[in-house]
Amino acid sequence: MYTLLSLTKKNSALKALLDNVNTWRHVRLERSADDDGWGSCVDANGEAVVTCSRTDHPQACLAHELLHFDLQMKGYRRVLCGRPRWQSDAIPMRLIAALDNEVQHHKMFPNFRALGFPAQQFYNDDDKSTLSLLEQVFSDFLPKAEDIVVDFLTVIAPGGSFPRKMRESFKNRMYDAWDGQFRSMFKKVEAIIFDWASGNSRDSQQIFTDVLTTIKPDLNMWLGYNDKTSFPSNGFFIGPAFA
pLDDT digits (tens, 9 = 90+) for 155-166: 999 999 888 888
DSSP state, residue 40: E
DSSP state, residue 32: -
Please say whether the beta carbons of 81 and 227 come within 8 A: yes
Summarised one tens digit per residue, pLDDT across range 41-53 is: 999 999 999 999 9
* Paired strand residues for 236: 223
Q: Largest Cα–Cα distance of the chain, in whole Å?
A: 54
Share of the chain above pLDDT 90, in %: 84
> What pLDDT, on the 0 to 100 scale, is given for residue 132?
75
CATH class of 4-73: alpha beta
Summarised one tens digit per residue, pLDDT across range 90-104 is: 999 999 999 999 999
Look at strands 27-31 and 48-52 and give their pairing.
Answer: parallel
**Claim: this prediction has a pTM higher than 0.85:** yes
* Distance set, CA 151 to CA 71, 80, 145, 146, 155 (Å): 24, 19, 10, 10, 6
Which residue ranges make up each domain of the chain? Answer: 4-73, 81-238
Whole-angstrom distance, CA of residue 96 vs CA of residue 79: 7
> What pLDDT, on the 0 to 100 scale, is given for residue 228?
85
The answer on pLDDT for 75 being more than 90 is yes
Of 116, 105, 44, which is closest to residue 70 (Cα–Cα)?
A: 105
The verdict on whether omega for the bond into residue 58 sits within 30 degrees of 0, i.e. cis, is: no
Handedness of CA 220, 157, 147, 100 (dihedral sign): negative
The verdict on whether omega for the bond into residue 158 sits within 30 degrees of 0, i.e. cis, is: no
The answer on pLDDT for 140 being more than 70 is no
Handedness of CA 41, 93, 102, 124 (dihedral sign): positive
